[in-house]
Chain A
Amino acid sequence: MTAETTMTFRVNGRECQVAAGPAERLVDVLRSRLGLTGAKEGCSTGQCGACTVLLDGEPVASCMMLAADAEGREITTIEGLAPPGELHPLQQAFLEHGAVQCGFCTPGMILSAKALLDRKPHPSDEDIARALVGNLCRCTGYRKICEAIKSYARSTRGRSKRVRKR
Chain B
Amino acid sequence: MAEPQMLQPSTVREAVRALAARGAVAMAGATDLIPAMRKGEIRPRILVNLKGIAGIRGVKRTRRGIWIGALTRVADLLDDPVIAQNLPLLAEVAAEFASPQIRNLATIGGNLCNAAPSADLALPLLVFDATAEVRGRSGKREIATSDFFRGVNRTALRRGEILTGLLVPRPRVRTGAAHLKLGVRKAMDLAFVGIAAAVQVSSDGKKCRRARVALGSVAPTPRRAAKAEAVLEGQVVTSQLIDEAAEAAVSAARPVSDLRASADYRREMTRVLTGRALREAFRRAPQERPR
Q: A interface vs B, CB < 8 Å?
A: 2, 5, 21-23, 25, 44-47, 49, 52, 55, 58-61, 63-66, 68-69, 112, 115, 130-131, 133-135
Instruction: Point out the residues of chain B lying under 8 angstroms from A5, CB to CB.
Output: 6
Bound form: Cα–Cα A107–B47 in Å: 31
Bound form: Cα–Cα A155–B186 in Å: 31
Contact B3 A61 (CB under 8 A): no
Known A-B contacts A22-B5, A47-B188; the reply to A112 vs B102 at CB < 8 A is no
Bound form: Cα–Cα A21–B4 in Å: 9
Bound form: Cα–Cα A115–B2 in Å: 36
Instruction: Point out the residues of chain A lying under 8 angstroms from B185, CB to CB.
Output: 133
Query: B38 near A: Cβ within 8 Å?
Result: yes
Contact B188 A133 (CB under 8 A): yes
Bound form: Cα–Cα A104–B156 in Å: 43
- Closest CB of chain A to B99's CB: distance in Å? 2
Contact B34 A66 (CB under 8 A): yes
- 6 cross-chain pairs, A with B, having the tightest CB-CB distances, nearest first: A134-B99, A22-B6, A2-B3, A133-B187, A61-B101, A134-B101
The digit string for B101-115, where 1 denotes a CB below 8 A from any CB of A, is 110110000000000
Interface of A is mostly: mixed
Nearest chain-B residue to A66 (Cβ)? B30
Known A-B contacts A61-B102, A112-B100; the reply to A22 vs B4 at CB < 8 A is yes
Among the listed B5, B35, B49, B75, which residue makes an inter-chain contact with A69, where contact means beta carbons less than 8 Å apart? Answer: B49
Instruction: Point out the residues of chain B lying under 8 angstroms from A63, CB to CB.
Output: 34
Known A-B contacts A112-B100, A133-B188; the reply to A64 vs B31 at CB < 8 A is yes
Nearest chain-B residue to A2 (Cβ)? B3
Contact B102 A64 (CB under 8 A): yes
Instruction: Point out the residues of chain A lying under 8 angstroms from B38, CB to CB.
Output: 44
The digit string for B89-133, where 1 denotes a CB below 8 A from any CB of A, is 000000100111110110000000000000000000000000000
Bound form: Cα–Cα A138–B235 in Å: 52
Give the residues from 119 to 168 in chain B that come closer than 8 angstroms, CB to CB, to chain A: none
- Closest CB of chain B to A98's CB: distance in Å? 24
- Closest CB of chain A to B245's CB: distance in Å? 32
Number of B interface residues in the complex (CB < 8 A)? 28
Other contacts beyond A23-B47, A112-B100: 4, CB < 8 A: A22-B6, A46-B31, A46-B98, A133-B187
Q: B interface vs A, CB < 8 Å?
A: 1-6, 30-31, 34-35, 37-38, 47, 49, 51, 75, 95, 98-102, 104-105, 185-188
13 contacts between A and B (CB under 8 A): A22-B5, A22-B47, A23-B47, A46-B31, A46-B102, A49-B99, A52-B101, A59-B101, A64-B31, A65-B105, A130-B95, A134-B98, A134-B188
Bound form: Cα–Cα A21–B6 in Å: 10
Contact B188 A69 (CB under 8 A): no
- Closest CB of chain B to A106's CB: distance in Å? 15
Bound form: Cα–Cα A131–B95 in Å: 11
Bound form: Cα–Cα A98–B188 in Å: 26
Among the listed A47, A66, A69, A115, which residue makes an inter-chain contact with B100, where contact means beta carbons less than 8 Å apart? Answer: A115
Contact B30 A64 (CB under 8 A): yes
Q: Which among A5, A46, A115, A135 has the greatest number of chain B C-beta atoms within 10 A? A: A46
Instruction: Point out the residues of chain B lying under 8 angstroms from A61, CB to CB.
Output: 99, 101-102, 105
- Closest CB of chain A to B94's CB: distance in Å? 12
Among the listed B6, B35, B75, B186, which residue makes an inter-chain contact with A46, where contact means beta carbons less than 8 Å apart? Answer: B35
Contact B102 A23 (CB under 8 A): no
Instruction: Point out the residues of chain A lying under 8 angstroms from B1, CB to CB.
Output: 23
Instruction: Point out the residues of chain A lying under 8 angstroms from B2, CB to CB.
Output: 2
Instruction: Point out the residues of chain A lying under 8 angstroms from B30, CB to CB.
Output: 64-66, 69
Contact B100 A134 (CB under 8 A): yes
Instruction: Point out the residues of chain A lying under 8 angstroms from B187, CB to CB.
Output: 130, 133-134
Contact A60 B34 (CB under 8 A): no
Bound form: Cα–Cα A115–B99 in Å: 13
Nearest chain-B residue to A56 (Cβ)? B104
Bound form: Cα–Cα A2–B100 in Å: 33
Instruction: Point out the residues of chain B lying under 8 angstroms from A25, CB to CB.
Output: 34
Instruction: Point out the residues of chain A lying under 8 angstroms from B75, CB to CB.
Output: 58
Known A-B contacts A23-B37, A58-B75, A133-B187; the reply to A112 vs B101 at CB < 8 A is yes
